[in-house]
Structure 1
Amino acid sequence: MTSLAEQTRWLDVTEQAALVASGEVKAGELVEAAIERVERFDAALGAVPLRYFDQAREADPVGPLAGVPFLVKDLFTDVAGQVCTNGNVALKAQARPASADSPLVARFRAAGLVFAGRTACSEFGTVPAADSAAWGATRNPWDTALSPGGSSGGAAAAVAAGMVPAAHGTDAAGSIRIPASCCGLVGFKPSRTSGQGASAVWDLIGELAVTRSVRDTALLLGIARDDTPVELGVDPGRLRVGLLDTRPDGAPVHADCAEAARSAARLLESLGHHVDPGFPAALGDSTLDGLFAAFWTSGMASVLGELGHQLGREVTEADVEPLNWTLGVLGAEVAAADRQAAIEGVAGFARSVVDWWADHDLLLTPTLAEPPLPSGALGSDPADPLASLGRAQQFAPFTPFANFTGQPAISLPLHTSSAGLPIGVQLVAAPGREDLLLRVAAQVEAAAPGTFRRVPGTRG
């Protein structure tokens, strides 16, 4: 007889919640099934380094999602009674549990989600991988020689492997969308609600989850915003879509990634939408690189300052990985006037990009410029600490701009590489148009159901 862990392994959040609501399964049984799967599958993946199974078993969940198992990213997000290390060796050694939930965690808890553990990420989420000196490597369930992407890579690996139906993620430059692409999942970054133009790195962060279905994304977004979920069955109308299938500077991307975007364009056209080549010209403005560098390095200097506050002592080079130490040192040297110029420059960039949406509804791109990278490809090299950041920018040129502009963006698992690996495509809408973006995503999902699938060897 098939165990409950196997019966529920590939059910999404909506389906698992329905089992409890109907009385067919008890909330605690769903949690126990997820624990069984984590214990069975995570040894090969390293996706869930912090496990809180006893807390999960002791939970008494109520709400529409009562008993649905969930994992929270180990990055700048508190869960009461659980440790958050940010992928950092010093915070791991400190092992101080949080006294209260972060706001989104509190909303998810009130809805009935049960938090069984914390998922792996890169240290401070700096690069789009989920490896760290604190916890080691995290691997992709599609091929364990590959990275799951990141920085929400542990979340994506856990969901793609069937441990849980969805997992929390944060996204400051693509950290939800990138691993969703690498692992064949839905990855959604909401709009920023504080207005156009970022005032600090913290303002770039979108927070939600990686999921197996668009309906789960809409459901979780509704809970996150204490609002009615977007009604997905509404016809979005005939939309004007711009297509970017090269890098913004015109350089080519990997053939599989270009074909993913072109294939998605054909699908959108078959659904009645109008797709033409085109994208905001500001995306190709290389003169902004210096402004972005000042912005990011200043942000890391702030992160290391907060780390010192948490540790109660001065941070040393031994406390952080070489890339982040180097970024922090560079950031500390940025003059206040340069920081302000960077903030103003980013705000101007955001306005010029968003203006393009006056004549368009969506922008379509590959989520990434390459298929999933080998495990360790973005490791921090003490001899050349900044090399991994440069490599990351080559890998993920399409995702960061939506964080600077505050726009909603989603990665959908619509393509497969020549090697059989998932390749995501990204759709970006105007600020505040989550409704339009999710309705189109649901329309695409319904038109291409075979692309939303399980990892190899798990069908049946």
Structure 2
Amino acid sequence: MSRVHAFSDDALGDLDAVGVVDRLQAGEVSIREVVDAAIARTEQVGETLGAVAYSDFNRARREASSPRGGYFAGVPTFAKDNVEVAGMPTMQGTDAWAPRAAKKDGDFARMFLATGLIPLGKTRLSEYGFSPSCEHPRLGPVRCPWDTEHTAGASSAGSAALVAAGAVPIAHANDGGGSIRIPASINGLVGLKPTRGRLAQDAQMRQQPIPIVADGVVTRSVRDTAAFYREAELVFRSLEMPPIGDLTRPGRKRLRVALNTAGVEHGADAEVTALTEQTARLLEDLGHTVIEAEAPVPATFREDFLLYWATLALALLTGGRSQHGRSWVRANHDNLTLGLARHARRNVHRLPGAIIRLRRSTKEAALFFEKYDVTLTPTLATPTPKIGHLDPTQDYDTLVEKLYEWVAFTPLQNVTGTPAISLPLATASTGLPQGMMFGAGWGREAVLLELAYEVEQARPWARIHA
């Protein structure tokens, strides 16, 4: 088992983002010292992990000398390479066109950086975020720092790997089928997919027929995630849902928890089922009521979601040349992207019905959460596979079947728009983290964060550098 991390006794120490803020505000370290420590750590582990898509350390040092305001002023971070950050190229996890710098920040980056975070660069993702494992045939894989023979997940793999390895305490992630929660589960992190519309988003994300993508962060502590959403709300506030507010401790209300390990067609394997049941017993010991329940998933969900997902691939390939110019090369795309586009083209006549049924899931979820406060499932159906299991040079049909065997729980919340959080509450027999996922009704992130505080205190998770 090859474990890689960069934790040391430098200015970052083993602190989370809130801890770094406290240290900065106390004058124990300077912003320049913190940023230099993050740069050194990224240089130490970045190449081994394959996590960095683009770096601009000189820019980070300039910003350290003249930081913008905000609670996180001076805290180093990375943005995922599928949002626009001024001066940085956006490559979407592919090498299908020549890089060119964005002229201005997108809506998400504007909000993200307004909290005071200093970007060191951008992190790698699977091509367009389609695969739950970042294993590009030419750019290489992103490796899990807990064991570099295993995938770091996707699509927010690079962000998760760098946070888990200690390079930065917090990083941007987004989630269109589990891509905050999947790498959080694999890398031993907290990953909250917020309610649809909770945070500002770039236009390409929010203008989809069903806006399945949600932006957020991956962190090593519940308080970091809670603090980020508190600060983000000061910059961008959705008036359609209750505010999250300033959450710093567990909630008092005892919850009705719906337990499910059956997933969408593929359920959890025996080991992951047992780990989920252990988490259920922890909740019962804490006074919550756990009830086995079926998820509100129609029989058509898998095929409808796959077709919708595939249609996004088709749109990206159809518009590739017009968007990226002569440097765009269709043949540079991996088998998953190309196979999804073929699937969409062959089944385009079924798309209107699929969209209607998927949109109906929002109402079904609302009815479900009239009975239960929270759901409990594993984040992933099996322990983390080794690199190569989801190699995108494989046959498309083989790849898709492997994807569904592993990612059987996360896509539902992307369709319903409801929030869900992965917490590293379990450890698989491989020694790698195994996330447990909690879901809640529309706009109820506060319930999830209060519960997360409670279980974090009751069962502190493993630390990579312990």
After TM superposition, is the score higher than 0.5?
Answer: yes
The answer (yes or no) to whether the contact 2:276–2:378 under 8 Å persists in 1 is yes
Question: 1:442 maps to what in 2?
Answer: 453
Distance 1:417 1:136, change over 3 A: same
Deviation at 1:333, TM superposition (A): 4.3
Deviates more, 1:424-433 or 1:126-135: 126-135
**Does 1:147 pair with 2:151?**
yes
The answer (yes or no) to whether the contact 1:152–1:170 under 8 Å persists in 2 is yes
CA-to-aligned-CA distance 1:167-212 (integer Å, 9 cap, x gap) = 1101000001011111111011000139xxx983660001111101
Aligned residue type for 1:119: T
Distance 1:445 1:3, change over 3 A: closer
Could you say what secondary structure the match of 1:89 adopts?
Answer: coil
1:291 to 304, 310, 321: 304
Aligned residue type for 1:238: R
CA-to-aligned-CA distance 1:136-180 (integer Å, 9 cap, x gap) = 111111111100111111111111111110111010000010111
Q: Which runs of 5+ in 2 are unaligned?
A: 1-5, 199-205, 238-243
Find the aligned partners of 2:441 and 2:299 in 1 and give their Cα distance: 23
Question: 2:3 maps to what in 1?
Answer: none
The answer (yes or no) to whether the contact 1:9–1:164 under 8 Å persists in 2 is no
Could you say what secondary structure the match of 1:188 adopts?
Answer: strand
Deviates more, 1:205-214 or 1:288-297: 288-297
Deviation at 1:432, TM superposition (A): 0.7
Question: 2:404 maps to what in 1?
Answer: 393
Q: Structure 2 matches for 1:318-329, cutoff 5 A?
A: 318-329=331-342
2:257 to 226, 241, 244: 241
Could you say what secondary structure the match of 1:121 adopts?
Answer: coil
Question: 2:202 maps to what in 1?
Answer: none
Deviates more, 1:408-417 or 1:130-139: 130-139
Superposition misfits of 4+ residues, deviation over 4 angstroms: 2-5, 313-316
Question: 2:316 maps to what in 1?
Answer: 303
1:86 to 88, 92, 98: 92
Could you say what secondary structure the match of 1:233 adopts?
Answer: coil
RMSD: 2.2
Q: Which runs of 5+ in 1 are unaligned?
A: none
Distance 1:315 1:31, change over 3 A: closer
What's the TM-score, normalizing by structure 2? 0.90
Find the aligned partners of 1:252 and 1:350 in 2 and give their Cα distance: 22
Find the aligned partners of 1:211 and 1:113 in 2 and give their Cα distance: 14
Find the aligned partners of 1:348 and 1:358 in 2 and give their Cα distance: 16
The answer (yes or no) to whether the contact 2:50–2:158 under 8 Å persists in 1 is yes
Find the aligned partners of 2:92 and 2:447 in 1 and give their Cα distance: 33
Aligned residue type for 1:385: Y
Deviation at 1:7, TM superposition (A): 5.1
Could you say what secondary structure the match of 1:437 adopts?
Answer: helix
Deviation at 1:18, TM superposition (A): 1.4
Could you say what secondary structure the match of 1:286 adopts?
Answer: coil
Question: 2:232 maps to what in 1?
Answer: 224
Distance 1:218 1:139, change over 3 A: same
Deviation at 1:418, TM superposition (A): 1.8
Find the aligned partners of 1:222 and 1:361 in 2 and give their Cα distance: 22
Q: Percent identity?
A: 36
Q: How many residues align?
A: 443
Find the aligned partners of 1:403 and 1:55 in 2 and give their Cα distance: 34
**Does 1:454 pair with 2:460?**
no
CA-to-aligned-CA distance 1:408-457 (integer Å, 9 cap, x gap) = 000000011122111110000001101111111111111112x1x321xx
Find the aligned partners of 1:125 and 1:343 in 2 and give their Cα distance: 20
Question: 1:272 maps to what in 2?
Answer: 287
Could you say what secondary structure the match of 2:144 adopts?
Answer: coil
Question: 1:431 maps to what in 2?
Answer: 442
**Does 1:254 pair with 2:257?**
no
Distance 1:55 1:370, change over 3 A: same
The answer (yes or no) to whether the contact 1:257–1:370 under 8 Å persists in 2 is yes
The answer (yes or no) to whether the contact 1:72–1:118 under 8 Å persists in 2 is yes
Question: 1:11 maps to what in 2?
Answer: 15
Aligned residue type for 1:318: A
Find the aligned partners of 1:224 and 1:279 in 2 and give their Cα distance: 34
2:123 to 119, 131, 136: 119
CA-to-aligned-CA distance 1:94-117 (integer Å, 9 cap, x gap) = 110111112221122222111001
Question: 1:64 maps to what in 2?
Answer: 71
The answer (yes or no) to whether the contact 1:152–1:176 under 8 Å persists in 2 is yes
Find the aligned partners of 2:399 and 2:132 in 1 and give their Cα distance: 10
